[in-house]
Amino acid sequence: MFNSKIVAFSKYVPEKIVTNNDLSEIVDTSDEWIFSRTGIKERRVSTSENTSEVCAKAAEASIIKAGVSPDEIELIITATMTPDYSSPSTACIIQKLIGAKKAVSFDLSAACSGFVFALCAADKFIKTGAFKNALVIGGEVTSKVIDWSDRGTCVLFGDGAGACVIKQGKGGGIIAEDLHSDGERFDSLTSLYTPVNNPYHKEGGEGFNRLTMDGREIFNFATRKVPESIAAVLQKANISSEDIKYIVPHQANSRIVEIISRKMKIPMDKFFMNMDRYGNTSAASIPIALAELSDMGLIKEKDKLIITGFGGGLTWGSAIIEL
């Protein structure tokens, strides 16, 4: 059995910054209303780039940092809920854009938990020896599925991508994980619905691509399940929160993180947050945060981090990674 080691993190976000004040010109809201409820001040919005393009730019930067060539990448897993197409996969388009001609490429759909799920999946391919080098990406252009007249959702989300390269190594990697799904509550967060509609179907239907969310349900779900998941990975790894350098949560809402901190009696300064600048970037939020931690020199080899995601599906999960 091999170990998987994360050797590089990178991010890419579009240039266009949309502030809370900008949104107040579109919907009935204000900077104070948004920030006090979410901790978000601004977000990035794509003016032209689709999901594959923002992901490819994050991926290219990660490959360069890792010191590998595109030809050495054997696996690409892209976590996204805003793909360019239903088919082909966004990962296959990224493969073309970055020139990773030898990579097996596919998407993974677990909404805002997607990067955690994708990293854990890639870890298994590496540990079994199936592949030596993998690229894991979380990327979204949520702006294309948002209802910009709905202040309950349009103020929350942003666009961007984060990526990491993982390789076979002697140490580090994922040392514990805890993944879950609850399809009973699938309709708490939905997007890109396509109904059955053909000449033989009794009742035709219309699809819709707008994101819909029961904000209260997601808030309550996250504040219940995330503390349980963090506790589970700590127990599986047989370590305490004091052994963790940072907890990197899905960047959805600062109030959610504050409640998790209080419930677990873990200081807020151990939770890394950047949602004030990027908003909720869904599957991209955790890898963007990891890339910022790396770029700022706040993490180093041998540090242990907890990543924890939650979102549509419903899905949630955590992993302890050692750098």
The residues annotated as belonging to the active site are 112, 250, 280
SS3 for the chain, per residue? CCEEEEEEEEEECCCCEEEHHHHCCCCCCCHHHHHHHHCCCEEECCCCCCHHHHHHHHHHHHHHHHCCCHHHCCEEEEECCCCCCCCCCHHHHHHHHHCCCCCEEEEECCHHHHHHHHHHHHHHHHHCCCCCEEEEEEEEEHHHCCCCCCHHHHCCECEEEEEEEEEEECCCEEEEEEEEECHHHHHHEECCECCCCCCCCCCCCCCECCCEECHHHHHHHHHHHHHHHHHHHHHHHCCCHHHCCEEEECCCCHHHHHHHHHHHCCCHHHECCCHHHHCECHHHHHHHHHHHHHHCCCCCCCCEEEEEEEECCCEEEEEEEEC
